[in-house]
Structure 1
Amino acid sequence: MDEIEVRELAPSEYGKWDLLVEKASSGTLFHTSDFLGIFRDVLSKDLRIYGCFRNGELVGGCPLFVRNFKGILKIGSSISNMTHYSGPLIMESASSKVSKRVQDTHEILNSLREFLCKQGFDSINLVFSPGFEDIRPFTWNGWNSSVRYTYKLDLKENIDNNISRKIRRELKTAEEAGLKTRVINDPDTYYRLFSLVYEKQNLEPPVPKEFFERVFKLIQEKDVGYMFVSEAPEGEAVASHLNLYGKKCTVTWSSALNPAYGRMGANSLLYYNEFLDLKSRNFEYMNVMAANVPRFADFIMGFSPKLMPFYIVSYYSKRCSLMRTLHDIVYEKTE
């Protein structure tokens, strides 16, 4: 049995990492060094990509954002602002035997887990992408686990047979209001709509405009997604989705809506026309990241999606566990 070596990748090795992301079935744009680099540069994140090597070949790994909490706790997380998942990846075994495939998976993940536990972290949070099912090397070794969900809209189905009466009414409202949809890639337009969503809640946007400028530059340079908008008759963009390309799918990653047009069916029109467009381009499904917030989940249910789980594993050092316990005790006493 060949031993797995785990170490931090040098930036000069990021090309090898991106090849793994491309080949691994659970690899996503969120895993790529280009996308991770936007968080590192714009949000001043401490990014580390750990690689697992077997006989010199990169066979797995995980990106991690590292921070020191108040100079006391060392915290690592595979996700950051605006990212739903970006956890461990493995090069799937080519063996026809299930037992061999499971063994290879567990060897890589166990080596990664053991390495991370030796790096002095007080807290580690890893969010696996949808489709990565076997997290047992973590849960069998004392890590906590939880589940989140995304929605899968099957593009092989007939959308008109699956939409609810509420969605039909909203589509009619949008048509009567003269709303149209089209593809544009304009960070200024998107950030204006994005900011309006948070302004209504008296909140600051979670990322600055520069973040989206970098995302749009990546979209333009490497054709990894597109921006779809609903426009009023006078040409004003009133709702928008940022869609990123995945393996046989698109990910509806970020959406924004001018609250003044919230009852005009702009969002329903976006999803409906996106469905038809992507179906014509032979994508298999839309991954809609809206299943974990009740009001968003209720809306997407109008398109009859399928629920897809994805998993989270967490590690806490004894010191961190004690601090969490003390925090909970203090919080309960102040209730």
Structure 2
Amino acid sequence: MTTRYRLEETTPGPQWDAFVEASPNGTIFSLSAYLAAVRQPSRLYWCLNGNERRAAVAVTESADGSCAVLHDFVIHNGILFAPPANKQNRSTVLSERFEIAVDVAAALSRRYARVELALSPQVADIRPFLWHNYGRDDAPHYAAEVRYTAYASLEGFAQAAAPEDVPLFPEISYSRRQEVRKALKTGVRTTEDATPEDLSAFYALTMGRQGITVEAERLDELRDLAAAVLAGGFGRLFATRTPEGELAAMALFGMDSKRAYYLFGAGDPHLRNTPCGTAVLWDAFGELARAGMTEVDLEGVNSPRRGWFKLSFGADILPYYQLVKDGPEPPSAEA
């Protein structure tokens, strides 16, 4: 098969970030500053047709660079398509993106012994990956796992004088509505005066209550990532306190040109029966809407406990794909 598109390694910076922001499936998780704050090597590629950039590819790598691997804090990566060119209709766009994905699947398989990708929900067609080395038993294949996230609309939050003025409010669960009202009635306050250190400490407490011990290195990475998105101006850390002033819950959001992302949430287990865990998200939605955000990715509903809580905010479920290719290409396929 003739290869029309080729990968060319590039570097992070303004040109890369402009492409990510313009891409219909680009996300915060491929921005230069975000990847720089993650303690995992990353590699960036242009996908070129001649000299024209028709897509980009972002991966995180193993320490020796032999594998493209997933990272817990990089929720989406892989292919980032360019916006449609002038005069491209829907059929042409879909055809071009299919061809791009065919060549990207092959190029990554040649470069890495193992490939792990987590595509954004906007990449719906994974046939080029599933059909890589189609019909061959002597060559590796990509396998797909369906994952889920949830998007909540922020319509009406910016202008709302009361929760009932927000179109999302009647769509959230009864208990969530009661918690929102209780927070307002009792004087729960949400501010932005907590620190990344506070978030890291609360995250350890939250995971500990679930019987999960988080390694100190991962907590430090979370703290540094929070600090980086806040310092870079594309993150906001909200903190909710009880009427008595006790810090009870926190939520870190990242932002790009398309939406906000609920990156991390944590709370004091001793105050989990207060409405603060609900208020920190509801109040954050209002502030994010006033900053121009139109939707928020609640970032993963892939466990029963987290899925139940996030979906109780009336969000829409969206599938996305994690892809894994395990094993090198046979010598005849290597470029």
Q: CA deviation at 1:295?
A: 1.2
Per-residue CA deviations over 1:212-252 (Å, capped at 9, x if unaligned) read 235323423x3212011111234332111101113342111
For 2:9, the aligned partner's letter is: E
Q: Which moved more, 1:203-212 or 1:241-250?
A: 203-212
Partner of 1:48: 43
Q: Which SS does the other structure have where 1:85 is aligned?
A: coil
State the alpha-carbon separation in 2 of the partners of residues 250 and 233 from structure 1. 28
Q: Which runs of 5+ in 2 are unaligned?
A: 133-140, 156-165, 330-335
State the alpha-carbon separation in 2 of the partners of residues 89 and 196 from structure 1. 36
What is the correspondence of 1:146-165 to structure 2 with a 5 Å cutoff? 146-156=145-155, 158-165=167-174
Q: CA deviation at 1:282?
A: 4.2
Distance of aligned partners of 1:160 and 1:103 in 2 relative to their CA distance in 1, 3 Å threshold: closer
Equivalent residues of 1:159, 1:275 under 8 A apart: no
Equivalent residues of 2:54, 2:82 under 8 A apart: yes
Percent identical among aligned pairs is 21
State the alpha-carbon separation in 2 of the partners of residues 91 and 262 from structure 1. 44
Q: Which SS does the other structure have where 1:207 is aligned?
A: helix
Q: CA deviation at 1:163?
A: 2.5
Equivalent of residue 207 in structure 1, options 199, 218, 223: 218
Confirm or deny that 1:75 pairs with 2:67: yes
For 1:123, the aligned partner's letter is: R
Q: Scaled by the length of structure 1, what TM-score is found?
A: 0.82
Q: CA deviation at 1:254?
A: 0.8
Partner of 2:144: 145
Q: Which SS does the other structure have where 1:286 is aligned?
A: strand
State the alpha-carbon separation in 2 of the partners of residues 199 and 111 from structure 1. 44
Per-residue CA deviations over 1:245-273 (Å, capped at 9, x if unaligned) read 13342111111111111111211112222
Distance of aligned partners of 1:2 and 1:67 in 2 relative to their CA distance in 1, 3 Å threshold: closer
Per-residue CA deviations over 1:18-42 (Å, capped at 9, x if unaligned) read 2210210111111012111112xxx
Confirm or deny that 1:114 pairs with 2:106: yes
State the alpha-carbon separation in 2 of the partners of residues 54 and 259 from structure 1. 53
Equivalent residues of 1:251, 1:288 under 8 A apart: yes
Equivalent residues of 1:93, 1:104 under 8 A apart: no
Q: Which runs of 5+ in 1 are unaligned?
A: 320-335
For 1:30, the aligned partner's letter is: F
Equivalent residues of 1:48, 1:65 under 8 A apart: yes
Equivalent residues of 2:3, 2:103 under 8 A apart: no
Q: Scaled by the length of structure 2, what TM-score is found?
A: 0.82
What is the correspondence of 1:1-335 to structure 2 with a 5 Å cutoff? 3-9=4-10, 11=11, 14-39=13-38, 43=39, 45-67=40-62, 74-77=66-69, 79-94=70-85, 95-119=87-111, 121-141=112-132, 142-156=141-155, 158-175=167-184, 178-184=187-193, 186-200=195-209, 201=211, 203-205=213-215, 207-209=218-220, 211-220=222-231, 222-317=232-327
TM-align CA RMSD: 2.6
State the alpha-carbon separation in 2 of the partners of residues 15 and 22 from structure 1. 10
Q: CA deviation at 1:149?
A: 0.9
State the alpha-carbon separation in 2 of the partners of residues 187 and 248 from structure 1. 24
